[in-house]
Amino acid sequence: MELDELNQLLRKRKKDLVEKWFHSVIETYPADGSRFFAGSRDPFTNPVGNTFRKELSELFDRLMDAGENDPLQIGTCLDPMIRIRAVQNFLPSQAIGFMFDFKKILRQDLGDTLQSPGFQDAFVKLEERIDAFGLIAFNNYMQCREKIYQLKTDDIRERTFRAFQRAGLVHEITQDKTEPENYH
């Protein structure tokens, strides 16, 4: 079985596979959150659940595309999900683990089909694509976390400066016009 044949087989099962993938993601949340994310499909009352449903479907399509995917396009597809996970209290492995959980979902769904001749090579290629997408997700996650830490640092620096300024401990320094501009 070629990778294209495997992808066609999986495309026929897209709705069920994406729904299982979605549930594997929301199960990483506490029970109340998980029930809420799974229940409402309204993008206004449930933006997190809606984002994951939409983006996992898009990500599935990109995984099934046997052609070359541009990492920037994949990153764009992953970005909304990764941003959500980056601001929550997940370890990096938990935040992007959903990418690798998809391999387990596929193995369970395909069952005995995995044993058919030629299938394993195609499945290994698909798993390599999933791994590559997972690495892109990790890079995106780290960029988001770095941005969050930078924002926190900037906020602390600004609040500290304002506190010192209010206490009269700092003032602006202006350049003295009597100093020579060039030193030789």
- pLDDT tens digits, one per residue of 139-159: 999 999 999 889 989 889 899
Count of other CB atoms within 10 angstroms of residue 94: 12
**Can you give the residue range of the structural domain that contains 21?**
3-145
Distance CA 108, CA 75 (A): 27
Please give the structure tokens belonging to residue 122. Answer: 């195609």
CATH number at residue 27: 1.10.490
- Position 170 in a domain: no
- Position 165 in a domain: no
In single-letter form, the type of residue at position 178 comes to T
- Position 167 in a domain: no
pLDDT in tens, 83-110: 999 998 889 999 999 999 999 999 999 8
Please say whether the beta carbons of 38 and 23 come within 8 A: yes
- Position 86 in a domain: yes
Nearest to 3 by CA among 64, 74, 62, 58: 64
**pTM attached to this predicted model:** 0.78
What is the total count of domains within the chain?
A: 1
- Position 135 in a domain: yes
Distance CA 60, CA 53 (A): 11
Count of other CB atoms within 10 angstroms of residue 127: 15
Overall average pLDDT of the 51-56 stretch:
93
Please give the structure tokens belonging to residue 183. Answer: 């030193």
- Position 176 in a domain: no
- Position 11 in a domain: yes
- Position 169 in a domain: no
